[in-house]
Each structure stands twice: as C-alpha cells, then as structure tokens.
Chains A and B, each alone.
Chain A
C-alpha cells in the first residue's frame, strides 16, 4: 500500500499548499515541503527491501476490461529517479518560496508543482505500462500549466502551448507503441514484459514499437528533431526550469529508454538510431548554446546537449554505457539544477538575464559566485567535481564504441561537442561573474537571502562529495539502479577519482584547452555564427500551424457559405454517394421472391402518383396545384395501404391527410401568394439531375429489397399479441403494448412540437412582430358572408356524431383497426371544423378545454399507467388485462392498455388542436382580421 501512497500523496496533497496559502507564504511552503518529505520517507522505507533485491510490488484492478490496473513497484532504477525527483523537488520548493514575488500566486504554483511531482513519481514507479502513459500525459499537462504559470506573458502562453503540442503528440505515439508492446509481450505488466526481450526483438512489430516508443522519448527529452520546445519553455518561472526542464521531466525519456533497455536494446537499429540521435543532439545543442545570450537559454541548450550524451550512452548498448548513463543522470541533475537556481539568483538580483549586460558580479555576490564556479566546473568536468567522473566514464565508453566501421568518427564528434561545452560553460561563468564591474545593472545586485542561495549550495556540496568519495556516496545507488535497468548483475566497476593516465583523461584535458582558446577567440567566431543562416525550428513550427488554420478556413468557406440550398445539395449528394460506394462494392443478383400480380386499380393509382409527382415538380410554384398534387399522392398512398392489407395505416394516413391540408391552407393564407420566376440557371438542371439520380437509387433499393425474401421477426408479435397483449389487432397491440415506451416517447414529441408551435405563434402575437402583423393584409377579397349558414348548421349537427364515431374507433382499437391516434385525429377534425365554420372566438369560447392541459393530462395518464405497472413490481409499461363478466352487459375486456391509449388520445387531440387553433387565431390578429 505504501508504494501507491508515495505517488498519490503529492497528487492528493497538491490541494494542501493552495489551502494553506490563506495563512501565508511560509505556511504554504511548509505544507508543500512536508508533503514531499513524507513521500520521501515512505520511499526510503523500501531501501532495505530493494537492497535485498526483492522488488516490493502493489497492484489494484482499475479498468480490468483493458487490463489497465494500478500496479506499482520500486526497483533500483525507480528508486534512483524517485529520490532525485523528491530531493530536488524539496530544494526547489524552498527556493521557490523566496524566489516568487509577493503578488504571484504561490499556493497555485505549489499545487501545480506537487501535481507534477506526483505525475513524475507515477511514471518512474508504475509497473503497468498503460498506467505509465497516464502519468506520462499528466507530466505534459502539468508542465503546460507550469510553463504558462505567468498567464499574462504572451511568450509564456505560446511556450506552454508548444511544449504541450510536442510532448503530448509524442505521448500519442508512445501510447500506440506501448499498446503494440503489450500485445506482443502478452501482458501490460513491466515485470512480465522485461522477461520477453527475445520474443519482442524477434517479433515483426519490433521496428514499429521501437519507432513509436523512441518518438515518445525523444519528444519528451527534447532530442534533435523535437528539441525546439525546451528553449521556449524557459518562459516558465526559474524554479520550474530548475526542476522540470533540467532535472526531472526531460529525464523521463531517458528513464523510459533505460527501463525498456533489456527489451528494446541490443539490435543494430537501436544503436544507430538512439546513439546517432544522441550524438547529433549533443553536438548541435552545444554549438548553439555557445552563441545564446539569455542565461537560461544557454542552460537550456546545455541541458539538451547533456541529454544527448545520456541518449548516446543508452544507445551504445553495452552494459558499462548504461552504468555511465545512470551515473551521469545523477550528476547532471545535481549541477544543472544548481546552475539554473544560480541563474535565477542573478535574474532576481540584477533584474536581467542577458549575459551581454552582466559581468563582474563576483565581488558583489561572493557566495553565489562560488556556487556558480563550482557548479560550472562540474559541468565542464574539472577533476574534484562529480562532472569529471561521469565525463571520464562517458569518454571511456565512447572510445570502445565503433560506429559504421570507422573507429575515430564517434570519439571525434564527442570531442568536438565537449570542446563547445567547455567553451559555453566557461563563457557562462566568466561573462557573468568575472570581468569588469559594470554600473548599469537594472537593480543593485547583492547576495540574495539565505533561502535563495542555500539550495544551490547544498547541491554543489553534494557534487563535491560525490566527486571526492564517489564510491561511498553514489556507488551503491548507481549499482542498484544499473542492476535494475539491465535486469542482470551489472559488470564489476569501481567509481574513483583517479584512473591513471587513461586516453579519456588525455581527451578531456585536450578538450579543455581547445575550449579555453575557443572562448578567447569568441568575438570573431560569434560574427561568423551571426552571418550563418540557420533554420529556426520555432519558425517552421509556427509556419505549419498557420498553414493548417488557413486550410481549414478555406474548406469551410468554400463548402458552406450559409446558403441552405448548398448545404442541402451537398448533404443529399454525400448521402447518395455513400450509398453508391457501398452498393458498387456489393454484388447484386435479382431476388427470387415471386412478385404480386399487378391489379388494374392499383395501376391507375400508380399512374396518378407518377403524374402527380411530375406536375408537382413542374408547377410547384402555383400553390393550388402543388397542394392538390401532394394530397393526391397522400390519398393514393393510403389506398395502397388498404390494398396491401394495412387498414390501420390507411385510416391514420387519411386523417393526417385532412389535418395537414387544413394546416397548409392556414399557413398558405399568410405566405406570399405570387411565385418567384426562378431563373432557369444551370443550378436548376443540376438539382434535377441530382434529385432524379437519388430518386432512382432509392427506387432501385426499394425494388432490390422487395424482391429478396427475408426472415420476418414479427412472428413473435403475431403469436403473443392475443395471449399477452389481449388484442387481436397486432399493429395496435404492438403500438400501445409491446412498444408502448416508444409510443410514449412519440406522444411527448407531438406535445413538444405543439408547444413549440404555440410558443412561436404566441411570440408573434405578443412580441415586436405584432405591429407588422397588424399592418399585414392578405390581399384577398373576403366575402361578406363570413360564416355561410349551411356550413354552420351541418358542422354543429355533425359534431356529436363525429365524436361518437371517434369513441367507436377508440374502443374498437384493440381488436379491430382503430386506436388512440385515429380517434384523436377524428375529434380534432370535428373541432377544427367548428373553428372554421363559426369563427375562432365563438368556437374557442365553447371548447372549455385548455389544450395545454390536454397535452399534459394525456402525458400524465400515459405515465401513470406505465408507473402503475412498476408499482405492481413489473417493468415500466407492462400491461395487464382481464375479462370481467358484468351481470347485465356480458363479457367486457378491461385492459390497462386502454388507459394508455386514452393518454395517447388526449395528447394528440391537445397537440393538433393547439397547433391548428393558434394558427387560425393568428388570422384574427392581422390587418384583414379586423374587417
């Protein structure tokens, strides 16, 4: 349990400093550091177990389906990195407490810092590689937050976005790689994967795994093609640069390569790709670092260079190289963090980081000068410092490695890089602290408060100690870490300051000499550099970003310029194209189902439909003809329903036909009458072609469907409609019983549609539109006899009869064609007739029902019948029925379904009437309503 706690403590504890911030900066800092210390203590309790080489593990199933379980383990490598993360984290917390200015939100800063710390610990301690990726992305996120901490600074935000884009992009590649790795290895647990080395190396996916994982590592550790984000991450506050972008986060890539070393390393491709990239990065970064003026930018490129060294060492593939790499990870973290903090001090005291405006600070800031010199010495690799030791080991390894058969190529390149690294380190040191004291510093420099210079001082002391007594201080931890990395006993080695006059020593002395001379000739070299035109990586990045944005804008502008016609056209085109593609691939042979004979009356109906469609398309602008033809098509389709034995459908279709006609007439009253003479442009021909094509394809699809036999699933309904549903009319039983829930949804749709219509119309009557309404006249000449007597009388006589027929249809619905819908439509038509015959006000006054209430009531009744069955312990909307023998009347079927049908009836009546009544009411409010 304690291992998971190590990781979770910082993550959960992140809130603690933010809360404590209310009490003050000290309390917040103490809170943050206490969380880190606690986590460190927990970590160290495992040292004894690790030294006995038993790897403590803990695992919980988190998302078993994708076998991602939260499993952690602490082995040597994990321990080393975790100690480094927590140790330097502690120092950075203290440093940040004094570094951040009062108005900056220290609490939020510590919260982000702890979030990052937890994420980083997660990466180094997780056993499940998917969990590792989760934390990996979390580190990218927290670095995004930290880089963009000073949200007001423009380049801060830009740097944060770029860092996120590159590292998160790499993360994606890594995810793919890890998934592949997990598949090939057979498990996502590292403990199993590390045993499958041979199997993975020999599997066909090895290259793709290697490529994807390396992309993830190189983006995170800022290796050559992806290095450009790190210098721009320097916009972050210095503590962040010291912590993330020197010691821990950028090492995640190195850590992963070390972790997967036993599995991925050992092949020629590994050597060339990893070592190659390492060397190139080391060289290029070192060269650029020499010519940067901003202190932190120099350190950024030096970090990239040193990361290149470590990648190269991992790339060599020999076990000693791994040991050297592990040892260099430790040393680099120590002196680079110290240097960054030192740069922070300089910036904090003098107010500027531009090296050209600095110089001669040693006399003004003696303590920070001393720490800076020692740290720079360690970076250069001067004997007493730990840097010298790891440099020696690195040079030792380089002499053994032979690349592409040319023995001297690698050592030569490394030598060149070390010359430059010596040059920029010395420049960093001399140009800031030594040389003439200047008087134009923006702020008066003097030694900073203890909190600022103590953390780098500790690091420097540690560096000296490791330098002088390497075996005592760093020996055991290095051996533990390299054993874990190699997954086998690491070779016998002895860390000592003096190895005798080895070629490596010669090379480093020679490099030192050249570096010093290079520095002295700095000015001419600098002028050559300025003239050399170099591709600026950031420029390329911005260029590609803007190009994508421009491309997106062009496509949207061209395809959708807001014209409905174009959108519809493209929509239909795309749909039919999709259909076409699918159809083209599938083979079609004529179905063998025997077809029905053609019946003459149906043939006449068919002719009418075809002619009606043609006339409609041709004369759609004259409203009367258009309306007539649409209704002809509707009526004929209802006759077709009758002929094809679907009486329910026919009834509904005819009723809906009538109500739609009334609705359209009401709407047409308001829409402008005169047609627009559309210029027959090529656009119209294009529409014709498209619609005919789509029509033909739909027709063909229908034909293909009908000629093939199929296995109908409705036999279930036919068998169970009588016994279960209690009704002989299968369609109605399906509607209100088997698929009752669907009908319930449907009546709510009708209710909502009616409400929407009411809202729109009411909005017109009461809203700003009412003025335009009053001025609007339909331009029709009204007959003085508004309510012809014959119509009035007949409709009044018919009303009770119509409602009776509706009740008849309603009650018979369960066993014979009929049902709630049709009954409701009949009643609505009868009622709307009253409105039409005797005027809106007269009829509305007498209806006594509020249509909103009807809709609500209907929905409620339907819901209650549904909930009723829940009360009886059955699922929603199961229906019950039984036959009751009344003495006088005889057998009567009581079905809960009829209550549901009543709900449907009321809602549909309410809905239809609300729509139609309000639309007719609109007429009264217009100009000609007042006649």
Chain B
C-alpha cells in the first residue's frame, strides 16, 4: 500500500473523528434541548461518513476489492437518522406543552399535529394520510 493511499485514509479518519468530536462537544455546550438535538445529526452525517470512506479506501488499497457495503451503511443511516431526530423533536413538543411562545402557529384554523388537544381531534392522523394520498 503506497504512502499516498495511507495519507488519504488518515485524512478521512481525522476528518471523521473531528466531526464526531464536534457533535459530542456540541451536546455538552449547547444550552436548550432542541439545540442539543442538532449535535448528533452532525456526527451521523460527515463523521461516520468520513470513517466509512476511509475503510472503503483501506479495503480497496489493501485487498483490491471495491467494497460497496460502506455505501450501504451510509444509505441506511441517511434513511433512519432523520426519523430518530424527528421523534425526539415530537417527544419534546409533546411533553413541553407549555413551551415558549416562539412556536408559530401553522395557520389560523389548524395546529401542529402533536399539539392538537385530544377533544378536537376527530379521527386519527393516519386516516388522513391515506385519504390524501389515494
């Protein structure tokens, strides 16, 4: 494995590590829950991405086979990470009902789905999904 590849791999690992560090540091530093929520998205995207690219290169350089598994991992990661972030936000909205007033109302007669007070809700959200997309 010539030194060029090694340098490249090392670079990717360092970049990945840096972003993961930033992510975890952000968890410590940022004040409110929602702002802290941003930190993990950083580490899941570039951080892990960097490491995966590094391992791909390493495999390619060492074993000569282009392994596509790493891209699969990134693909699956990009599909599932937003859902976790979305759920954490939903949970935050649901539990902190009396949150700060800065939350804008979407439109005069509608409200955010988790904040609908139970009485006004006629039928479940999922039914609405199906009608809309039929």
Contacts and interface: CB of A to CB of B under 8 A. Distances in A.
Interface stretch (A312-320, A410-418, A788-796): A788-796
Interface in B89-134: 90, 94, 113-114, 116-118, 121, 124-126, 129
A845 to B, nearest CB: 14
B83 A791 contact: yes
B79 A797 contact: yes
A785 B83 contact: no
Interface in A330-355: none
Contacts of B3: none
Nearest to A842: B126
Interface in A785-816: 785-792, 794, 797-798, 801
B80 interface: yes
B29 interface: no
B129 A792 contact: yes
B116 A792 contact: no
A785 B117 CA distance: 10
A783 B86 contact: no
Dominant secondary structure of chain B at its interface with chain A? helix
B113 A790 contact: no
Interface in A773-787: 782-787
Nearest to B118: A784
Contacts of B126: 786-787, 789, 792, 838-839, 842
Contact-residue size bin, chain A (C-beta under 8 Å from the other chain) = 10 to 19
B82 A784 contact: no
A349 to B, nearest CB: 97
Given A794-B79, A798-B79, A783 B94 contact: yes
Contacts of A842: 126
B4 interface: no
19 contacts: A784-B116, A784-B118, A784-B124, A784-B125, A785-B113, A786-B126, A787-B124, A787-B126, A788-B113, A789-B125, A789-B129, A790-B83, A791-B83, A791-B86, A794-B80, A794-B83, A798-B80, A801-B76, A931-B118
B116 A788 contact: no
B129 A790 contact: no
A840 B13 CA distance: 44
Contacts of B117: 784
The winner among A783, A790, A794 for most chain B CB atoms within 10 A is: A783
Nearest to B127: A787
Contact of B86 (A782, A787, A790): A790
Given A784-B121, A785-B116, A790 B82 contact: yes
A790 B88 CA distance: 13
Interface of A: 782-792, 794, 797-798, 801, 838-839, 842, 931
B93 to A, nearest CB: 8
B83 A784 contact: no
Interface string B49-82: 0000000000000000000000000001001101
Contacts of A839: 126
Contacts of B80: 794, 798
A841 B20 CA distance: 41
Contacts of B79: 794, 797-798
A349 B82 CA distance: 105
Interface string B40-51: 000000000000
Given A783-B90, A784-B117, A790-B82, 20 more contacts: A783-B94, A784-B114, A784-B125, A785-B90, A785-B114, A786-B126, A787-B125, A787-B126, A787-B129, A788-B86, A788-B87, A788-B90, A788-B113, A789-B126, A791-B86, A791-B87, A792-B126, A798-B80, A801-B76, A838-B126
A251 B82 CA distance: 95
Interface of B: 76, 79-80, 82-83, 86-87, 90, 94, 113-114, 116-118, 121, 124-126, 129
The winner among A782, A789, A798 for most chain B CB atoms within 10 A is: A789
Contacts of B83: 790-791, 794
Contacts of A782: 118
Contacts, number: 51
Contacts of A838: 126
Nearest to B75: A801
A798 B76 CA distance: 9
A786 B76 CA distance: 25
Contacts of A794: 79-80, 83
Contacts of A801: 76
A160 to B, nearest CB: 76
B30 to A, nearest CB: 22
A838 B130 CA distance: 12
A110 to B, nearest CB: 83
A783 B87 contact: no
B70 to A, nearest CB: 15
Name the 8 nearest CB pairs between A and B, nearest first.
Answer: A785-B113, A787-B126, A784-B121, A784-B116, A783-B94, A785-B125, A783-B114, A790-B86
A563 to B, nearest CB: 39
Nearest to B91: A783
Nearest to B79: A794
Contacts of B76: 801
Nearest to A797: B79
B10 to A, nearest CB: 18
A842 B116 CA distance: 23
A877 B4 CA distance: 54
Contacts of B114: 783-785
A725 B74 CA distance: 36
B94 to A, nearest CB: 5
Contacts of B82: 790
Contacts of B86: 788, 790-791
The winner among A790, A839, A842 for most chain B CB atoms within 10 A is: A790
Nearest to A789: B129
Contacts of A783: 90, 94, 114
Nearest to B113: A785
A564 B83 CA distance: 43
The winner among B83, B86, B121 for most chain A CB atoms within 10 A is: B83
A655 to B, nearest CB: 15
A286 to B, nearest CB: 98
Contacts of B116: 784-785
B124 A786 contact: yes
Contacts of A931: 118
A783 B52 CA distance: 38
Nearest to A931: B118
A790 B90 CA distance: 11
Contacts of A789: 125-126, 129
A839 B113 CA distance: 17
B21 to A, nearest CB: 15
A790 B79 CA distance: 11
Nearest to B82: A790
B129 A784 contact: no
A840 to B, nearest CB: 13
A783 B124 CA distance: 11
Contacts of A787: 124-126, 129
A881 to B, nearest CB: 27
Contacts of B87: 788, 791
Contacts of B125: 784-789
B68 to A, nearest CB: 13
Nearest to B125: A785
A784 B110 CA distance: 14
The winner among A785, A789, A798, A931 for most chain B CB atoms within 10 A is: A785
A842 B87 CA distance: 21
A787 B114 CA distance: 10
B125 to A, nearest CB: 5
Nearest to B128: A789
A584 B106 CA distance: 75
A791 B114 CA distance: 14
Nearest to B116: A784
Contacts of A791: 83, 86-87
Contacts of A790: 82-83, 86
A787 B86 CA distance: 13
A780 B94 CA distance: 12
A209 B122 CA distance: 94
